[in-house]
Structures are given as structure tokens and as C-alpha cells.
Amino acid sequence: MTQPTPDIRTKPPCSREDALAVLTRLREQKHIAYFAGGCVRDELLGRTPKDYDVATDAAPDRVRRLFPRTQAVGQAFGVILVRQGGSVVEVATFRSDGNYGDGRRPDTVTFSTPEHDAQRRDFTINGLFLDPLDNGRVIDFVGGQADLQSRTLRAIGDPAQRFAEDHLRLLRAVRFAARFDLTIEPATAAAILRDAPLLKRISPERIADELRLALTPPTRSLAWRLLWEFRLGQTAFRSPPFFPAPSTDPERSLFLRVSPGRPITLGLALAGAALDLQIQAGNEVPAIVQKKHLHSLIHALRHSLKISNDESEEMQYTFEALGPLLADEPPALAALKRFRARPVADNTQSLLDALQDGGQHVMRIDELRPRLAALDAVDCAPAPLITGDDLTAAGLMPGPVFKRVLDAVYDAQLEGRIGIRAEGLAMALQLARKPV
Ligand code: ATP
Ligand code: MG
């Protein structure tokens, strides 16, 4: 039976047990093999790694011969995926990276030693190896243990050179510093600040991947502050509506008030970020949430960050629901029920909470709160009493009038003004006869 092709970016996480089995087999064959990178860092921090990677001196061909089920995903980089138990274990041959011609990845790699392999990694905390077959001995060529202990994020080697090689490391620095609450060591920090403009050369997809990791966990508040402190935000959010790039003031930041301490989705994070940046650029909330303005904003954001359709729709729905809730006229009961029935209503409510916390629309949101809470135990999306088929059966011609009539009848149903189908039909016929 052929195995489905694992994609290295979406491969299932690998358990310690399965990685250990692969590592043990390599060692039985007299190879060097260690746990490497993020999993070592996480174990030393007392956290459960989401993934285990194995590094070895066995060349990729050799790895493929040693295991029955493998796939070369980056053989040029020495990376082989090994299926083991329920996991896909990433096995990488120790390597040194050659010249970086494109600011993203090395032109060549040569297979080398653990020490050189540690040196091609990005930050000292990510440059550690661990030998699980020798009492968890840590093999540290880069001072990563001391940096973990003192909670320091430090580039391995010359920071300027490392960011020039691969510009994505600029964002990775922010992500790791925020995730583990690390202080960025001064030379590394100075290099990030100086090289921040290089981020422009990184593709929107890769930037979005990093933002997804940085801006969705509870540690996003520090990531957000660091993004602007290091002037990476301007490039990451390079949509024209944000120009001229606002200087963001963390104290006034709406983003920091969105569901603090809780994980959120990228859709909500981006809606919060966009709202924050628009407010900080001097726009008023009612103007921002106006349909036309909002759509151009969302379009631009979608264009500058290549995110999935689901994420993009979630961002749009989260954001656009604010309009009717904050319009001059308070929303009627039907509008509130329609809002609550949307799958992203909780997201939009997080934005409302954030706005109120920041002193915006305080009275309106105070008014909405008990009204929305009262709907928690209510079915906000009952089946409509009548449908288009009923209108056709009653002799009406399908057309734009259908939507107008059905919307009005459904609103009446949601507000309890009508309760049975006959009342719905009577209302529909009366409305259909009325000129618009
Ligand atoms: P996470 O828990 O978020 O997956 P991680 O440390 O495992 O964190 P990965 O992106 O999975 O991060 O990469 C695995 C390891 O590969 C890193 O720990 C690091 O040693 C190395 N690495 C990854 N990306 C880079 C890069 N752009 N430059 C240098 N080394 C890198
Ligand atoms: Mg990882």
C-alpha cells in the first residue's frame, strides 16, 4: 500500500517515543544521533515539545536504507522523513550551510559535524543537542544552556550576518523572545533593528506563517510590542491602507486588549491588528467599520499577507459584524439575533470588549452586553417560518423582492411579532404588494 505523501510543513507532530526508536536504530548502526533544536530547548525549559527532531551523521541515502518507510523531502538539505509508529520523524544529517544568495536559504549545503550543524542554526537556545541514551546529556557548542538559564535570545555567531543570510530570522527572533519571555541580547537586538527593512524580501506566505505563530498564543502581547519596537510591523503589515505606517503606542494599543491571556485565531488577531492600526492612524471607529472602507482594508490585508481562505473569511466576518452593532441606531432584536447566530460572534464580542476597555463606544457596548447575554439561552437561528418556495406557491414571481420580503418576515419571526407560518405568509403577501 502506498503511503500518503507527508508534507514537511503539515506533517503530524512526532512523539518522543517514536523519535527515540528512530534514534536508537541509528545508534545501533554506530551512527551519532541526537535530539536536536526545539525539542531540546523545550525539554530543558520543562515544557512538552510539540515535535521531536533527530540529527545524525548518517548521510540521507544511508537513512533511507536503514528505515523501510521514508520520504526525501529535502534531500539536498539532508532531511529525510521516517515513518515510525504513528509519527513522521524528521531526520536531518548534520550539515553546514553554504552561501545564502537569496536571503532565504543556502545555495549549497555540505554534510558535516554536530558542531558545525549547531552553528548553522539561528539562536543559541535552538542550537542544542540532547542524547536521550546517555541520561539526557546536553551537547552544547553555542552556549545555549546558559542563555536559556538567563532567559536570553542570542543569535549564533555574528548577528548581522545571520539576519542577512535568512531574513525570516528577524521575525523568528520576535516569536521566540515572546514565546519564552526572553530578553534579546544587545548585539542581536541592534542587528534586528538595523536589518528590519530586509524583511521586505520575504514572501507574504512565510511572513503570515510566522505571524500565525507569534500573534495567536497568549504571549502575543510581547510579540506585538517587539514587532513595533524593532520596526518589523511596518513591513509585516505592508498594506497600503496602513501607510504612512503609524508609530504604534503600546499603551493605546487595541490589539493588546483583545482577549488578553487567551489563545485566539489568526482571523481575530488580524481583525484586532487592523482595527488597532487604523485607530492609531487617527481614524474613528464608525468610519473604519463602514462597509466600503472595511472591504478595502480587508482586501489589502488579504493581498499583503497570503492567508488561507478560511482565515481570511473569519477575519472579514469578525470585523464586518462590528458595523451594525456600533451604528448610530442601536441594533434591533432581530439584528442582534442574526449577529449571535454567526459562527464568529464570539470573536466580534472580543473586539467589542477590547474597544470598550480602550474607552471606545463605552455606553453602546454597555447597552449591548446584557442584551447579548440574554440571548445565550435563546435559539437565535430558528428555521424560517416561510421560504422562497412558499412565495412561489403563492404566485409571486421570483426576483429581488423575494429577499426583501423574506428578510422582513424573518426579522418579524426573530422578534416574536409573528409565530406561525400563516402569519408569515400573510405578512409576505402584504409586503410583496407594497412598493419599495
Ligand atoms: P517550534 O517549537 O516553534 O517548532 P523549533 O525550534 O522546533 O520551534 P522549527 O522552525 O521547527 O523551530 O525549526 C527546528 C530547528 O531548526 C530550530 O530549532 C533551529 O535550530 C533550526 N532552524 C529552523 N529555522 C531556521 C532558520 N530560519 N535559520 C536557522 N536555523 C533554523
Ligand atoms: Mg519545530
Q: Indicate the pLDDT class of residue 5, thresholds 50, 70 and 90.
A: very low
How would DSSP label each residue in 49-97?
-S--EEEESS-HHHHHHH-SSEEEEEGGGTEEEEEETTEEEEEEE-EEE
- The pLDDT, as a whole number, for residue 1 is 36
Contacts 24+ apart (CB under 8 A), 407-413: 409/384, 409/385, 410/334, 410/384, 410/385, 411/332, 411/334, 412/334, 413/382, 413/384, 413/385
pLDDT (mean) for 225-229? 94
pLDDT in tens, 135-163: 999 999 999 999 999 999 999 999 999 99
- The pLDDT, as a whole number, for residue 3 is 41
- The pLDDT, as a whole number, for residue 98 is 86
Convert 84-105 to b/e letters by CB count within 10 Å (16 or more is b): beebbbbbbbbbbbeebeebee
Which of the listed residues 50, 126, 153 should we mutate to test ligand 1's pocket, taking the one with most ligand atoms within 8 A of CB? 126
Find the helix packing angle between 362-373 and 333-340, rounded to 10°: 70
For residue 183, the surrounding DSSP H or E stretch is strand 183-184
Distance CA 272, CA 237 (A): 13
pLDDT in tens, 303-335: 888 888 899 999 999 999 999 999 999 999 999
Q: Backbone phi, then psi, for 295, in 5-degree steps?
A: -65, -35
Q: State the ligand closest to the CA atom of 163.
A: 1
* Ligand 1, residues at Cβ distance < 6 Å: 37-38, 50-51, 53, 121-122, 126-127, 166, 168-169
Q: Indicate the pLDDT class of residue 242, thresholds 50, 70 and 90.
A: low
Cis peptide before 244 (omega within 30 of 0): yes
- The pLDDT, as a whole number, for residue 295 is 85
Sheet strands (E) in 227-321 = none
pLDDT above 90 (res 240): no
- The pLDDT, as a whole number, for residue 103 is 83
For cell 483583545, the residue is: 258
For cell 469578525, the residue is: 318
Q: Indicate the pLDDT class of residue 100, thresholds 50, 70 and 90.
A: confident
Distance CA 373, CA 353 (A): 13
pLDDT above 70 (res 249): yes
Give me ligand 1 centre to Cα 52, in Å. Answer: 11
For residue 367, the surrounding DSSP H or E stretch is helix 362-373
**Among the atoms of ligand 1, which is closest to the Cα of residue 121?**
30
Q: Helix, strand or coil for residue 139?
A: strand
Report the 10 Å Cβ neighbour count for 419: 11
pLDDT above 90 (res 345): yes
pLDDT above 90 (res 436): no
Q: Indicate the pLDDT class of residue 200, thresholds 50, 70 and 90.
A: very high
Distance CA 24, CA 21 (A): 5
Give me ligand 2 centre to Cα 13, in Å. Answer: 9
Q: Enumerate the H helices of 180-288 as residue ranges.
A: 186-195, 204-215, 220-229, 233-236, 266-280, 285-288
**Among the atoms of ligand 1, which is closest to the Cα of residue 169?**
27
- Give the chain's mean pLDDT: 92
Residues around ion ligand 2, judged by CB within 5 A, are 38, 51
Give me ligand 2 centre to Cα 90, in Å. Answer: 10
For residue 333, the surrounding DSSP H or E stretch is helix 333-340
pLDDT in tens, 8-66: 556 788 999 999 999 999 999 999 999 999 999 999 999 999 999 999 999 999 999 99
- The pLDDT, as a whole number, for residue 299 is 85
Identify the structural domains of the chain with CATH numbers, from first to last: 1-144 (3.30.460.10), 151-236 (1.10.110.30), 244-381 (no CATH), 388-433 (no CATH)
Q: Backbone phi, then psi, for 131, in 5-degree steps?
A: -105, 100
